[in-house]
Amino acid sequence: MSNIHGIIGYTITPFGANGEGVDLPALGRSIDRLIAGGVHAIAPLGSTGEGAYLSDAEWDQVAEFSIRHVAKRVPTVVSVSDLTTAKAVRRARFAEAHGADVVMVLPASYWKLTEAEILAHYRAIGDSIGVPIMLYNNPATSGTDMSVELILRIVNGVENVTMVKESTGDIQRMHKLQLLGEGRVPFYNGCNPLALEAFAAGAKGWCTAAPNLIPQLNLDLYEATLAGDLGKARELFYRQLPLLDFILKGGLPATIKAGLRLTGLEVGDPRLPVFPLAEAGRTQLQALLNTLR
176 three-class SS: helix
The pLDDT tens digits for 150-185 are: 999 999 999 999 999 999 999 999 999 999 999 999
Residue of 10, 122, 136, 222 with catalytic role: 136
To the nearest 10°, report the CA torsion of 245, 248, 254, 260: 60
CA atoms of 204 and 199, how far apart (whole Å): 7
Per the annotation, the verdict on 112 as an active-site residue is no
Query: What stretches in the chain show pLDDT beneath 50?
Result: 1
Per the annotation, the verdict on 136 as an active-site residue is yes
CA atoms of 155 and 193, how far apart (whole Å): 26
206 three-class SS: strand
Neighbours of 260 (CB within 10 A): 21
Residue of 87, 112, 122, 165 with catalytic role: 165
Select from 217, 191, 46 the least CA-distant residue to 205: 191
CA atoms of 30 and 35, how far apart (whole Å): 9
163 three-class SS: strand
Residue 1: per-residue pLDDT: 46
CA dist 172 to 164, 169, 179, 199, 275, Å? Answer: 14, 9, 10, 13, 34
CA atoms of 19 and 12, how far apart (whole Å): 13
Residue 2: per-residue pLDDT: 66
